[in-house]
Structure 1
Amino acid sequence: MAIKRYYATKDNTITNAFKSSLSRRGVSGNMGQSDILETFSIYAQVSSSTGLSSELSRILIEFDTVSINSDRTAGVIPASGSVNFFLKMYDAEHTQTTPKDYTLLVQPISQSWNEGLGLDMEEYSDEDASNYISASSGVPWAENSGRATASIETVVKELLTAGTFTLTDAAGTSTTYGFVTGVNVSANTTAYTPGTTVNIGIDGMAGGDAGATADQIIARINAGTNIGFTASKTGNNVLVTQNTAGTVGNKTNAQDSGMGSFVVNNFTGGANVQGGSYVDIPEYTFTQSFDTGFENLEVDVSHLVEDWIKGPSNNGLNNFGFGVRLTGSDETATNSFYTKMFFARGSQFFHKRPVIEARWDDSKKDNRSDFFLSSSLVPASDNLMNLYLYNVVRGQLTDIPAIGTGSILVSIYSGSTTPTGAKLFLPEGGGVAADDDLNITGSHVETGIYSCSFAYASSSITTIFDVWHSGSVEYHTGSAIKVQTFNSQNYNFDQRYVSKVTNLRPTYSRDEKVRFRLYTRQKDWSPTIYTVANNKIETSIVDNAYYRFTRVSDDLDVIPFGTGSLNHTRLSYDASGSYFDLEMNMFDVDTVYELSFSYLINGSYVNQPERFRFRVE
């Protein structure tokens, strides 16, 4: 399985557009339960003493990255760097105008927000939060760069008194700090809990230097666990900055009287904003251009999703979802872009709901039944053959205890029905470190699966066996491998195939994870007498085969061919032929689907004519 979809957990449209009277804006309107999401700009619908009006609509949408991380822990999706995440939103056709030649901007939202219970997208009469001015009830959108700060004007050690001062964070938690003698400055980095009284040791502090006082105040403040502000140095003074943006950070601080020239100022400068609060930095900014205006949105947001999974404690971000809107230049243009609509998470159309789609290449090319002698006719990379070990214990893939996720050794032997004689010498390449080595170093692929890669050059030995071991302990002996040879042709070979899904069922459940098995043979294949007499039908391995699923009723691409750099719908193959795994929860119930294939042949993707239908119930 190399594709998995995660569905939105909440979404909303927020707007400052005028209501039908053109006298009041719908800034308090909520559309969190609508089955449509909408973004637009309207220019000059109203003229006033302040000039021509501008009206905007923006989209908020959030996904559960905890479940993504849980799937990674469980081995369902690969580690960071081996999987890509795409935000996909689907165009909703409508009877109003649709703009063209515009660009949509996707950025992370910087604060928590509520979906709300509103529906009205015409008069914006359902007042709830979130909306254009509030992230949640009573909580305005905070200007991300507008964080409140408080300055502490310090004095030299000799002028410090025994008084205390109190700082209050954006959540209203007050922490009191007091200078004390008898406590060394080394204790100022000891952790503490917000909302308590904290000592600032001054023993060992340099005298005659207000900057030294500032250093110790900063060390003490920043030692707090989950403290709501951060201290830094500015000149000889201290600047304390609220971690939470917005006016909520404008708090009153306090200090004892009689502290002389030592002054603690209040938190000021926190600002709010309308239209949502976003992390506006290049590494988390994604754009897509729309030419006709009817395109779907599909952007690679891998870096952002990975940082959401990390979280702020691991140099990542809090996940508050995506904001989707027109770029700044389009929003402020002296023309309108009205209106782009997408289906929301509550849409009745299952395959149009917004998703984060995880894509990765999990294809495994096991050459046990497609093994070739090294040849100068092919590139060096194609001379490397791959073999796999599948450690199945009581029906479950299980890591070998002594190997775990480490490396494993593989040796090659000659023989007819069992391995005989000594290990065969192997040429350098793949997991073989040097010419004439006797061992291949294999690796752990995933739970219970190990692989090795090597070239084979002994033309006189055409039946070989692979023995998997670690020193003197042998774990597995593979079945006999028939060594084939690469041969050139005297004519331009027409590669056409007959394809069949050998284990296709008429119906499936959405709760299943299914392995589809594909049999392929050349179209003009002529079996030999031996083949006819053999009960095992030969299969022709297509090295790069891809699958696609469409909905029969309207030919909608439910899972398109995943070719290109990601190869996320490429089939694996082993001794039994080609296959792929898929979770059936990506399909809607009571619907008929069609499976088809495309093969990479001579540098071109060739869609195969066969179609395989099934129903999901």
Structure 2
Amino acid sequence: MHYFIYATQDAWISSGSSHVDGTSFTDQNVGQDEILELKKTFWNKAFDYQTRVLVSFAGSEFTEVSQSIHNGHIVNPKFNLRLYEAEGTQDLTTEYKLAAFPVSESWEEGVGKFGDDPKVTNGVSWDNINYYPGNSAITWSQAGGGVRQNEKGGTVITGSGNEVSQSFSYESPDINMDVTDIVNNWLGGTNKNYGFLLRFSGSQETDNTTFGQLKFFSKQTNTIYSPKLEVKWDDHKPCTGSNTGSLLQMTSSGEVDYTLYMKGLKESYKENDKIKFRVMPRKRYIQKTFSTSAQTVTGSYIPEGSGSYSIVDLATGETTVPFSPYTSMSCDSTSNYFIQWMNTFQPNRAYKIVYRIKYRDGQEILYDDGFEFNVRS
């Protein structure tokens, strides 16, 4: 299964100031911006200042996954941090590297936007984790031990299992970073879950040879492109032995033409439903036979390792759940099936299921036959 945990907080923080009026950005909060900016700014052909991105997933969905792992319902999950490029990315070096660290203390998303005049300081910034006017600023800690001693720009935990990275070379800036080690440290109690800090890696953050003004969708966009923590695990039940009951295995030689049909597919599902989608193969053309006795029909099943599924957002055509080793189809004595948690999808949108069957002769056939559903809040 692929399951997405959506960000509960995000913001970007800046170490610079305006060259027009001298306004400092270091205590400014922009937690309500629809775009997260991860960039390096240059002045007179030399590096001037950098920004960083903070994103947290410490909500009820993360708690549910944590409990499912503890209870043994989710086994050996993988976690990927996903951010999606927004329009406006520019001045990007063809090769660069981004790094992510676990944040070491709590922070406030805040209520500001970059265009606010006067600027807003309520919430996280380069200098502070929070600063409400009329109160003393709460600065980032300068803790010891395994914590990077950033006086400003966010304190993070370093060391083995606490730094991950993604290298880019002539490719989309979309972030798809394996953060399994960091999340496992949260789940195991080694660290507390205060989210991730993203930055250019190492010396690339301040050198004069790496360029980039990256823009990503934030949680404020309310689109399918908001930041996600993707959870992947193999939950399928093998299509072998007693699992298949009296079902007959479909012919997978590639010489027989099959169609797929779904049993009990509904027009819409509630956001918090956990649905078992059932699908069965059927020969497209059935040879007629004549008999003087009553006949029974025995269903068929897609053999182990041959069938998988994908789920596509209808409005955008974007693949939400891709074909992968984590989308293999299961089987019981009734039919093939897969289970999907509906709160992985944005509500009040339409989706479709696409199936793929691999045949022994090397064919891979996609079945895109209008298997559509809505998720409602």
Query: Normalising to structure 2: TM-score of the pair?
Result: 0.84
Quickly say closer, same or farther: Cα 1:119–1:293, change in 2 above 3 A: farther
Partners of 1:66 and 1:309 within 8 A in 2: no
One-letter amino acid matched to 1:303: D
Structure 2 CA distance for aligned equivalents of residues 531 and 578 of structure 1: 32
| Residue 319 in structure 1 maps to residue 193 in structure 2 | yes
Structure 2 CA distance for aligned equivalents of residues 7 and 19 of structure 1: 33
Distance apart, 1:531 and its partner CA: 12
Partners of 1:65 and 1:319 within 8 A in 2: no
> 1:298 is matched with which residue: 159, 173, 176?
176
> 2:274 is matched with which residue: 506, 513, 531?
513
Structure 2 CA distance for aligned equivalents of residues 577 and 532 of structure 1: 26
> 1:277 is matched with which residue: 155, 175, 180?
155
Quickly say closer, same or farther: Cα 1:272–1:296, change in 2 above 3 A: closer
| Residue 36 in structure 1 maps to residue 35 in structure 2 | yes
Distance apart, 1:6 and its partner CA: 1.6
Structure 2 CA distance for aligned equivalents of residues 79 and 507 of structure 1: 26
Structure 2 CA distance for aligned equivalents of residues 522 and 29 of structure 1: 64
Structure 2 CA distance for aligned equivalents of residues 581 and 501 of structure 1: 13
- Quote the residue 1:308 is aligned against: 186
1:555-586 C-alpha deviation (Å, 9 max, x unpaired): 1112222x2xxx22111111211111222223
- SS of aligned partner of 1:337: coil
Partners of 1:56 and 1:331 within 8 A in 2: yes
Structure 1 CA distance for aligned equivalents of residues 186 and 128 of structure 2: 23
1:280-313 C-alpha deviation (Å, 9 max, x unpaired): 22422111123346432112212221210222xx
- Quote the residue 2:344 is aligned against: 586
Quickly say closer, same or farther: Cα 1:482–1:498, change in 2 above 3 A: closer
Structure 1 CA distance for aligned equivalents of residues 60 and 275 of structure 2: 25
- Quote the residue 2:76 is aligned against: 82
> 1:363 is matched with which residue: 211, 227, 236?
236
Partners of 1:86 and 1:358 within 8 A in 2: yes
Q: Which runs of 5+ in 2 are unaligned?
A: 132-136
- Quote the residue 1:289 is aligned against: 167
Structure 1 CA distance for aligned equivalents of residues 292 and 19 of structure 2: 78
- SS of aligned partner of 1:611: strand
Aligned length: 369
Partners of 2:173 and 2:214 within 8 A in 1: no
| Residue 542 in structure 1 maps to residue 326 in structure 2 | no
- Quote the residue 1:64 is aligned against: 58
Quickly say closer, same or farther: Cα 1:504–1:27, change in 2 above 3 A: same
Partners of 2:147 and 2:157 within 8 A in 1: no
Q: Which runs of 5+ in 1 are unaligned?
A: 148-242, 247-270, 368-384, 389-478
1:465-486 C-alpha deviation (Å, 9 max, x unpaired): xxxxxxxxxxxxxx7x5999x9
> 1:120 is matched with which residue: 109, 114, 118?
114
| Residue 348 in structure 1 maps to residue 222 in structure 2 | yes
Quickly say closer, same or farther: Cα 1:558–1:81, change in 2 above 3 A: closer
Structure 1 CA distance for aligned equivalents of residues 373 and 346 of structure 2: 12
Structure 1 CA distance for aligned equivalents of residues 319 and 293 of structure 2: 39
Structure with the greater relative contact order (CA < 8 A, sep ≥ 6): 1 or 2? 2
One-letter amino acid matched to 1:612: F
| Residue 494 in structure 1 maps to residue 252 in structure 2 | no
Distance apart, 1:65 and its partner CA: 6.7
Residue range with higher mean Cα deviation, 296-305 or 55-64: 296-305
- SS of aligned partner of 1:498: strand
Partners of 2:55 and 2:197 within 8 A in 1: yes
Quickly say closer, same or farther: Cα 1:74–1:323, change in 2 above 3 A: closer
Structure 1 CA distance for aligned equivalents of residues 293 and 222 of structure 2: 52
- Identity between Structure 1 and Structure 2 (%): 24
| Residue 551 in structure 1 maps to residue 313 in structure 2 | yes
Distance apart, 1:98 and its partner CA: 4.9
- Quote the residue 2:367 is aligned against: 608
Quickly say closer, same or farther: Cα 1:493–1:126, change in 2 above 3 A: closer
Quickly say closer, same or farther: Cα 1:529–1:504, change in 2 above 3 A: farther
Partners of 1:17 and 1:56 within 8 A in 2: yes
One-letter amino acid matched to 1:276: G
- Quote the residue 2:3 is aligned against: 4
Residue range with higher mean Cα deviation, 507-516 or 357-366: 507-516
- SS of aligned partner of 1:274: coil
Quickly say closer, same or farther: Cα 1:532–1:610, change in 2 above 3 A: farther
One-letter amino acid matched to 2:346: D
Query: Normalising to structure 1: TM-score of the pair?
Result: 0.54
Structure 2 CA distance for aligned equivalents of residues 599 and 515 of structure 1: 19
Quickly say closer, same or farther: Cα 1:80–1:576, change in 2 above 3 A: closer
Quickly say closer, same or farther: Cα 1:523–1:76, change in 2 above 3 A: farther
Structure with larger Rg: 1
- SS of aligned partner of 1:31: coil
One-letter amino acid matched to 1:504: L
Residue range with higher mean Cα deviation, 125-134 or 79-88: 79-88
Alpha-carbon RMSD = 3.4
- Quote the residue 1:106 is aligned against: 100
Structure 1 CA distance for aligned equivalents of residues 290 and 178 of structure 2: 53
1:157-203 C-alpha deviation (Å, 9 max, x unpaired): xxxxxxxxxxxxxxxxxxxxxxxxxxxxxxxxxxxxxxxxxxxxxxx
- Quote the residue 2:129 is aligned against: 135
Distance apart, 1:529 and its partner CA: 4.8
Partners of 1:77 and 1:83 within 8 A in 2: no
Structure 2 CA distance for aligned equivalents of residues 483 and 555 of structure 1: 35
